[in-house]
């Protein structure tokens, strides 16, 4: 094989049902042609119907996981998903700074589609203060963007305004995901800190087996950035991949089934 296979890391939570979290990230990495590694922040007992229990690792154990990876196989990009609590966010931020991690993609995971909290109520401020300054891009969905900006998002106008406000306020690129809208197109916008906007549209799939879409998109962006693409190209490539994975989403379980990565 002549192409170099680059290592990429996900720091996120485990989903027993294999649809979201670490499991989605590793499947995405393989499908995108990169070598996947994983640092687990929390275990979830979870299926397509919801999250039944969660168990966080200690900050000390999380630090040991991150050290093990970075001192041996330094990743070319890092995706951050479920961070769970303030103490874990502090550990992640300190370690990413220590190792000068490149191409950090932050998915500001707050609540699962089922309604289960994946981030402690008091942890958003820490995420904003400690992780967003390290991010090359942040990927909020509409409820997350509302919490980050205080802007109620009712239409595409307020959606774009909120994305620009977040990018300016946090000094990082913001990919706002419009998947919660109900139009014929899945419309995402990439706002840059200078206020410019790029639009990404794909036909909306009628497949309702969408468990793990946010995880898949952010890990695909990390995989593309690791391979040297510009942010715009990485987002376009990741969205094209996500559109395929949703199209092939599997009717498994009693709730919204998982995406399929092996078509």
Choice among 10, 41, 126, 210 that is catalytic? 210
**The pair of three-digit structure tokens given for residue 98, joined into one six-digit string:** 């220590």
CB 14 within 8 A of CB 23: yes
Site stretch for ligand PLP (CB under 6 A), options 7-15, 127-135, 172-180, 194-202 = 7-15
Question: Which among 201, 130, 151, 103 has a CA at the least distance from the CA of 140?
Answer: 151
Decide if residue 40 touches ligand PLP (CB under 6 A). no
Tell me if 130 sits within 8 A of 89, measured CB to CB.
Answer: yes
Number of chain positions touching ligand PLP (CB under 6 A): 19
Print the SS3 string covering 102-140: CCEEECCCCECCCCCECECCCCHHHHHHHHHHHCCEECC
Site membership for ligand PLP, residue 113 (CB under 6 A): yes
Kindly indicate which of the ranges 132-140, 191-199, 213-221, 244-252 contains the residues binding ligand PLP, using the contact rule CB under 6 A. Answer: 213-221
Please state, in angstroms and rounded to a whole number, the distance separating the CA atoms of residues 135 and 222: 11
Question: What is the Cα–Cα distance from 65 to 76, expressed in whole angstroms?
Answer: 17
Residue 138 lies near ligand PLP (rule: CB under 6 A): no
Tokens 């997350």 belong to residue? 144
Does the protein bind ligand PLP through residue 112 (CB under 6 A)?
yes
Residue 81 binds to ligand PLP (criterion: CB under 6 A): yes
Return the residue of 44, 84, 172, 227 that touches ligand PLP, per CB under 6 A: 44
**Interface pick for ligand PLP out of 34, 88, 106, 109 (rule CB under 6 A):** 109
CB of 256 to ligand PLP, least distance (A): 7
Residue (114 or 207) nearer to ligand PLP, CB: 114
Q: Which residues contact 94 (CB under 8 A, 6 or more apart)?
A: none
Q: Decide if 210 is catalytic.
A: yes
Please say if 214 is a catalytic residue. Answer: yes
Residues binding ligand PLP (CB under 6 A): 12-13, 15, 20-21, 44, 46, 81-82, 109, 112-114, 118, 211-215
């Amino acid at each position: 094989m002549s192409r170099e296979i680059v290592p990429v890391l996900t720091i996120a939570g485990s989903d027993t049902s294999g649809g979201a979290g670490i499991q989605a990230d590793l499947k995405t990495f393989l499908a995108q042609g990169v070598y996947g590694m994983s640092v687990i922040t929390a275990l979830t007992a979870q299926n397509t119907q919801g999250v039944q229990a969660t168990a966080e690792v200690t900050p000390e154990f999380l630090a040991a996981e991150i050290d093990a990876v970075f001192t041996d196989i330094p990743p070319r990009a890092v995706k951050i998903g479920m961070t769970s609590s303030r103490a874990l966010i502090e550990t992640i931020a300190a370690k990413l700074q220590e190792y000068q991690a490149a191409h950090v993609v932050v998915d500001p995971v707050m609540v699962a589609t089922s309604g289960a909290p994946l981030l402690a109520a008091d942890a958003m401020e820490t995420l904003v203060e400690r992780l967003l300054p390290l991010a090359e891009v942040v990927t909020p969905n509409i409820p997350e963007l509302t919490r980050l900006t205080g802007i109620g998002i009712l239409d595409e106008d307020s959606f774009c305004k909120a994305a620009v406000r977040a990018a300016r306020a946090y000094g990082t690129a913001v990919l706002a995901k419009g998947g919660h809208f109900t139009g014929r197109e899945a419309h995402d916008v990439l706002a840059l800190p200078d206020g410019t906007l790029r639009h990404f549209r794909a036909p909306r799939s009628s497949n309702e087996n969408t468990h793990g879409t946010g995880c898949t998109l952010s890990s695909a962006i990390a995989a593309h950035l690791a391979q040297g693409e510009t942010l715009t190209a990485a987002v376009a490539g990741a969205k094209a991949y996500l559109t395929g994975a949703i199209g092939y989403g599997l009717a498994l379980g009693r709730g919204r089934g998982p995406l399929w990565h092996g078509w």
